[in-house]
Amino acid sequence: MSGSKASEPTMLTRDASLTMIERIRRDPVFARGAFAEAVTVFLGGEPEVARAMLRDIAGGTLGFEELSDLTGIPPKSLHRMLSARGNPGMDNLAAIFAAMSGHLRVDVEARAKRKAA
Protein backbone atom coordinates (compact mmCIF):
# COMPACT_ATOMS: atom_id res chain seq x y z
CA MET A 1 0.00 0.00 0.00
CA SER A 2 2.81 2.44 0.79
CA GLY A 3 4.30 1.73 -2.66
CA SER A 4 1.17 3.00 -4.40
CA LYS A 5 1.07 6.16 -2.27
CA ALA A 6 4.63 7.00 -3.25
CA SER A 7 3.77 6.82 -6.97
CA GLU A 8 0.46 8.71 -6.79
CA PRO A 9 1.81 12.28 -6.46
CA THR A 10 4.14 11.80 -9.42
CA MET A 11 1.31 10.46 -11.54
CA LEU A 12 -1.04 13.28 -10.53
CA THR A 13 1.64 15.86 -11.27
CA ARG A 14 2.37 14.32 -14.64
CA ASP A 15 -1.32 14.19 -15.56
CA ALA A 16 -1.78 17.82 -14.52
CA SER A 17 1.28 18.81 -16.54
CA LEU A 18 0.03 17.01 -19.65
CA THR A 19 -3.38 18.62 -19.24
CA MET A 20 -1.74 22.05 -18.97
CA ILE A 21 0.40 21.48 -22.06
CA GLU A 22 -2.62 20.35 -24.09
CA ARG A 23 -4.64 23.41 -23.02
CA ILE A 24 -1.70 25.74 -23.73
CA ARG A 25 -1.34 24.23 -27.23
CA ARG A 26 -4.95 24.84 -28.17
CA ASP A 27 -5.64 28.14 -26.39
CA PRO A 28 -3.25 31.07 -26.95
CA VAL A 29 -5.13 33.27 -24.47
CA PHE A 30 -4.68 30.60 -21.80
CA ALA A 31 -0.99 30.29 -22.72
CA ARG A 32 -0.46 34.03 -22.24
CA GLY A 33 -2.33 33.94 -18.93
CA ALA A 34 -0.27 30.98 -17.74
CA PHE A 35 2.92 32.84 -18.62
CA ALA A 36 1.77 35.94 -16.74
CA GLU A 37 0.97 33.74 -13.75
CA ALA A 38 4.39 32.06 -13.93
CA VAL A 39 6.04 35.49 -13.78
CA THR A 40 3.84 36.50 -10.84
CA VAL A 41 4.54 33.26 -8.99
CA PHE A 42 8.28 33.66 -9.55
CA LEU A 43 8.29 37.24 -8.29
CA GLY A 44 6.12 36.12 -5.39
CA GLY A 45 8.89 33.85 -4.14
CA GLU A 46 7.91 30.46 -5.51
CA PRO A 47 10.60 29.70 -8.09
CA GLU A 48 9.98 25.93 -8.07
CA VAL A 49 6.35 26.44 -9.10
CA ALA A 50 7.36 29.02 -11.71
CA ARG A 51 9.92 26.60 -13.20
CA ALA A 52 7.27 23.87 -13.56
CA MET A 53 4.90 26.33 -15.18
CA LEU A 54 7.58 27.62 -17.56
CA ARG A 55 8.44 24.04 -18.52
CA ASP A 56 4.79 23.33 -19.41
CA ILE A 57 4.46 26.63 -21.28
CA ALA A 58 7.62 25.95 -23.27
CA GLY A 59 6.42 22.43 -24.04
CA GLY A 60 3.01 23.69 -25.15
CA THR A 61 4.13 26.67 -27.22
CA LEU A 62 7.50 27.15 -28.87
CA GLY A 63 9.12 23.89 -27.72
CA PHE A 64 12.57 23.42 -26.26
CA GLU A 65 14.39 23.45 -29.62
CA GLU A 66 13.03 26.88 -30.55
CA LEU A 67 13.51 28.13 -26.99
CA SER A 68 17.11 26.99 -27.34
CA ASP A 69 17.48 28.91 -30.60
CA LEU A 70 16.05 32.06 -29.01
CA THR A 71 18.09 31.89 -25.81
CA GLY A 72 21.33 30.29 -26.94
CA ILE A 73 20.92 27.70 -24.17
CA PRO A 74 21.14 24.01 -25.21
CA PRO A 75 17.78 22.16 -25.02
CA LYS A 76 19.08 19.64 -22.46
CA SER A 77 20.22 22.50 -20.23
CA LEU A 78 16.80 24.14 -20.55
CA HIS A 79 15.13 20.87 -19.53
CA ARG A 80 17.42 20.66 -16.49
CA MET A 81 16.95 24.31 -15.53
CA LEU A 82 13.18 24.03 -15.66
CA SER A 83 13.02 20.68 -13.85
CA ALA A 84 11.84 20.27 -10.27
CA ARG A 85 15.46 20.43 -9.06
CA GLY A 86 16.60 23.00 -11.60
CA ASN A 87 18.40 26.16 -10.60
CA PRO A 88 18.74 28.51 -13.56
CA GLY A 89 20.97 31.53 -13.08
CA MET A 90 19.49 35.00 -13.41
CA ASP A 91 20.95 35.53 -16.90
CA ASN A 92 19.45 32.27 -18.15
CA LEU A 93 16.12 32.93 -16.48
CA ALA A 94 16.01 36.43 -17.98
CA ALA A 95 16.71 34.93 -21.42
CA ILE A 96 13.92 32.37 -20.95
CA PHE A 97 11.43 35.04 -19.83
CA ALA A 98 12.43 37.31 -22.74
CA ALA A 99 12.12 34.53 -25.33
CA MET A 100 8.76 33.38 -24.03
CA SER A 101 7.32 36.86 -23.68
CA GLY A 102 8.39 37.66 -27.25
CA HIS A 103 6.97 34.42 -28.60
CA LEU A 104 3.67 34.85 -26.74
CA ARG A 105 3.58 38.60 -27.41
CA VAL A 106 3.22 39.40 -23.75
CA ASP A 107 4.74 42.47 -22.13
CA VAL A 108 6.02 41.76 -18.64
CA GLU A 109 5.72 44.62 -16.20
CA ALA A 110 6.62 44.45 -12.51
CA ARG A 111 5.31 46.89 -9.91
CA ALA A 112 6.32 47.13 -6.30
CA LYS A 113 3.43 47.45 -3.88
CA ARG A 114 3.54 48.14 -0.19
CA LYS A 115 2.45 45.11 1.83
CA ALA A 116 -0.53 45.47 4.10
CA ALA A 117 0.44 45.91 7.74
Look at residue 13 in the predicted model and tell me its pLDDT.
60
Among 36, 44, 86, 47, smallest CA distance to 64 is for: 86
Where is average pLDDT lowest: 14-18, 29-33, 74-78, 82-86? Answer: 14-18
Look at residue 113 in the predicted model and tell me its pLDDT.
80
H-run or E-run covering 116: none
- What is the pTM for the complete model shown? 0.81
In percent, how much of the chain has pLDDT > 90? Answer: 73
Q: Which whole number is the average pLDDT over 27-45?
A: 94
Look at residue 14 in the predicted model and tell me its pLDDT.
64
Whether residue 114 is predicted with pLDDT greater than 90 in this model: the reply is no
Among 14, 1, 28, smallest CA distance to 100 is for: 28
Instruction: Report CA 10 to chain centroid distance, whole Å.
Output: 18
